Each structure stands twice: as structure tokens, then as C-alpha cells.
């Protein structure tokens, strides 16, 4: 009997987990989830901060690293390299047999404090790609205005990219177009489009959190609460279908290119009144990914229901946008605020991570 994750895969959607730690890999939890149908791993600074703060599993390596390196950022990368490589190795068999390199990926994020610096992001993406040295590594680059040319350049250089922090339809389209430009440059320069892939991480629940907050401020319109995020994702999927079709795309596909799939991120519910797996169940469709926290993943394994929902009521999704505008909620401002806050939160987590490493370093020195 299939698990819900395996049934999800039968409907064309890959389930990934938004979590990584050394015990998670070494103690076999990741392998056991792969047996149940898990197909990838994503990480971010907040996740690594939690992992390094837990217990003392990093202390022995930290002592060794501190003998030659004191910069907290460089210390972090040495620690993260081992975990990312180990996760890549666990998922490598899945990657090798996966059709069109769909699954078996592990993501590591570029320093989010560089989100508005194109050249620094390009250099950092290349460095992480070399440092991990695994074919199933996605380098995460924020889909900010400054991040778009970095996405193009990285793809043109043969670096697989997970475009993160996407909230708006406009920015999602721009990220997909950057991927396509990168593929064309890679092909025209004699490279192999089949050597790269990309996902577009489209954040979901945060959109409802911000939109619902604004509806509360305005007053009324309770029927609109909890509807914008799913409508937003459904229309992003229509953009995906539009851009990765037609003669020009078919030429790239014939050269080995694969489409940039939509990855639904931030799929844990923030409002306890909502069903805990709603942002999984309502966005199931072919050639997509849903990356879940461990809690949401376990909830879905326990009681998730699988049906093709992503293309239901697409016209209604468009009408929802009109209703929010009529209610006085500015979609463009909602998504702009979420992008700024997302960058700020990840950058703050990165700095907090450095502080934790510094604190650990000082603790070990005193021992």
C-alpha cells in the first residue's frame, strides 16, 4: 500500500522536506523518509541555526575547524558542507534514476545578506557549487530584482538553481525568463542544458497571513480570508505552463533542457483555524514540488488526502484577485512587503547563526 507521499508522486508532485541537521542524516531519519516517498531536501539559515544549536553534535568538528578558521561565516560553511554532502549522497540514487532530474536534490542558500548585490551573489553561488561538488545540489538564489541576473548567470555557468523567496506572479515570471535566458546562453556557448535544472520556490502561507491581516484592518470581507495564497499559486502554475511550452521551449528541451518546476514553499499553516495540510492538499498537480516542514510532512503522512487540485477553479482564482482589489487590498504591495520581510528575516537568521557559532566557539575555548 502506497504512503500519501508515494501517492502524491503518482499524481506528479514531489514531496521534499524543509529541514536538515546532522542527526537527521546520520541517524537514518532522512533515509527512512525517502523509503516512504520523500524526494528532496531544502535548507535555509533558520534551519541551520536550529540544527547547530541542538545539543553538541557539531562540537567535535567545530573544535577542529577553529584551529584554522575563526570567521563565523567560513566556519558555518565548513560545518554545512558535511551535512549537505551527506544528504546529497543519501539522495543520489534517487537523483540518478529520476526522470528528467526531477528528484534527489538538496538545496543550500547563498548568503541572504547579498540578496541585493548581483555580482556578490554570482560569486557566492559559484563558490557554493564548487564547495559541495555534488551534481544534485541546488544553490538557492533569492528572486529579488538583483537576484534575477544572478540566476541567469549561474544557469549559463552550469549551476543548478533553486530560486527562492518568490511571492508575486510578476517576479515568478521574471525568474522563469531568467532561467530560460541562462539555458539559451549555456546551449549557445557549447554547454549542456541537460547538466542543469531549476525550481521556482513560490511562498504560499505567508501571502494569506499578510492578506488576512490587511482584511482585518479594513474590516469585513471574511469570505476572502485564506483564499489569496492558493489563488496566487494556481495562477503561477498557469505561468509555468505558458512559458515552458511552444516552439522555442521545444528546441531547448530537444537539447536536454528541463522545465523550471514550481515548488510550493512556506506550506505550513500559520492560522490554527485552517486545516494543517491545506497548502499541500489544495496545490497538487503534475511537475510540481511541495517542500514541507517536518511537522507538516508528518501530518500529511498521517491524514493527507491526494487529488488533482491545482487546476481546479482557475477562473475563480482570477476572480479572487479582483475581489481583493475591490476590498482595498493592494496585491503588489502585499508581495513587495513579503519579499522585503523575507530577505530581512533570512538575513537576520544568518546573522543569528553567526552569533551562535561565535558563542559555541567561546564555550569550547573556555572548556
C-alpha separations of 366 from 49, 245, 254, 308 in Å: 22, 61, 60, 57
Complete DSSP assignment for 285-331 = -TTEEEEE-HHHHHHHHHH------TTTTHHHHHHHHHHHHHHT--H
Beta strands in the chain (DSSP E): 13-18, 40-42, 105-109, 137-142, 161-166, 198-203, 261-265, 288-292
String of DSSP letters for 324-340: HHHHT--HHHHHHHHHH
50 in Cβ contact with 325 (< 8 Å): no
How distant is the alpha carbon of residue 226 from its chain centre?
A: 22
Round to whole Å and give the CA distance between 367 and 364: 5
Q: How far is residue 41's CA from residue 17's CA, in Å, rounded to a whole number?
A: 5
In the beta sheet, which residues pair with residue 142? 164
Q: Name the E strands within 190-273.
A: 198-203, 261-265
Pairing of strands 40-42, 161-166: unpaired
Distances (CA, A) of 57 to 134, 176, 240, 329: 24, 39, 41, 47
CB environment 169-178: b (16+ within 10 A), e (fewer) = bebbbbbbbb
Q: Which of 140, 234, 241, 345 is catalytic?
A: 140
- Among this protein's residues, is 234 annotated catalytic? no
Beta bridge partners of 288: 13, 262
Cβ atoms within 10 Å of 351's Cβ, excluding its own: 16
Tell me which residues are annotated as active site. 140
Amino acid at each position: 500500500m502506497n504512503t500519501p507521499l508515494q501517492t502524491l508522486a503518482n499524481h506528479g508532485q514531489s514531496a521534499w522536506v524543509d529541514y536538515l541537521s546532522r542527526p537527521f542524516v546520520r541517524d537514518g531519519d532522512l533515509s527512512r523518509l525517502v523509503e516512504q516517498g520523500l524526494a528532496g531536501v531544502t535548507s535555509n539559515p533558520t534551519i541551520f541555526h536550529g540544527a547547530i544549536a541542538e545539543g553538541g553534535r557539531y562540537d567535535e568538528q567545530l573544535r577542529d575547524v577553529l584551529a584554522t578558521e575563526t570567521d563565523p561565516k567560513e566556519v558555518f560553511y565548513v560545518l554545512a558542507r558535511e551535512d549537505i554532502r551527506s544528504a546529497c549522497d543519501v539522495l543520489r540514487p534517487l537523483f540518478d534514476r529520476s526522470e528528467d532530474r526531477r528528484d534527489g536534490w538538496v538545496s543550500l542558500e547563498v548568503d541572504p545578506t547579498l540578496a541585493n548585490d548581483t555580482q556578490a551573489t554570482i560569486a557566492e553561488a559559484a563558490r557554493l557549487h564548487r564547495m559541495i561538488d555534488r551534481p544534485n545540489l541546488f544553490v538557492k538564489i533569492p528572486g529579488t530584482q538583483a537576484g534575477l541576473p544572478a540566476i541567469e548567470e549561474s544557469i549559463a555557468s552550469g549551476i543548478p538553481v533553486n530560486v527562492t523567496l518568490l511571492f508575486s506572479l510578476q517576479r515568478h515570471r521574471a525568474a522563469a525568463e531568467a532561467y530560460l535566458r541562462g539555458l539559451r546562453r549555456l546551449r549557445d556557448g557549447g554547454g549542456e542544458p541537460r547538466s542543469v535544472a531549476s525550481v521556482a520556490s513560490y511562498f504560499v502561507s505567508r501571502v494569506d497571513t499578510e492578506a488576512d491581516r490587511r482584511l482585518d484592518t479594513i474590516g469585513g470581507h471574511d469570505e476572502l480570508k485564506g483564499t489569496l495564497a492558493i489563488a496566487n499559486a494556481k495562477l503561477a502554475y498557469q505561468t509555468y505552463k505558458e512559458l515552458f511550452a511552444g516552439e522555442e521551449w521545444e528546441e531547448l528541451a530537444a537539447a536536454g533542457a528541463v522545465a523550471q518546476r514550481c515548488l510550493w514553499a512556506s506550506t505550513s499553516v500559520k492560522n490554527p483555524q485552517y486545516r494543517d495540510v491545506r497548502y499541500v492538499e489544495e496545490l497538487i498537480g503534475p511537475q510540481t514540488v511541495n517542500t514541507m516542514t517536518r511537522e507538516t510532512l508528518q501530518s500529511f503522512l498521517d491524514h493527507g488526502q491526494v487529488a488533482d487540485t491545482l487546476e481546479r477553479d482557475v477562473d475563480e482564482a482570477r476572480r479572487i484577485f479582483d475581489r481583493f482589489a475591490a476590498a482595498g487590498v493592494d496585491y503588489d504591495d502585499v508581495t513587495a512587503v513579503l519579499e522585503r520581510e523575507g530577505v530581512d528575516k533570512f538575513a537576520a537568521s544568518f546573522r543569528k547563526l553567526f552569533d551562535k557559532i561565535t558563542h559555541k566557539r567561546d564555550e569550547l575555548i573556555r572548556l
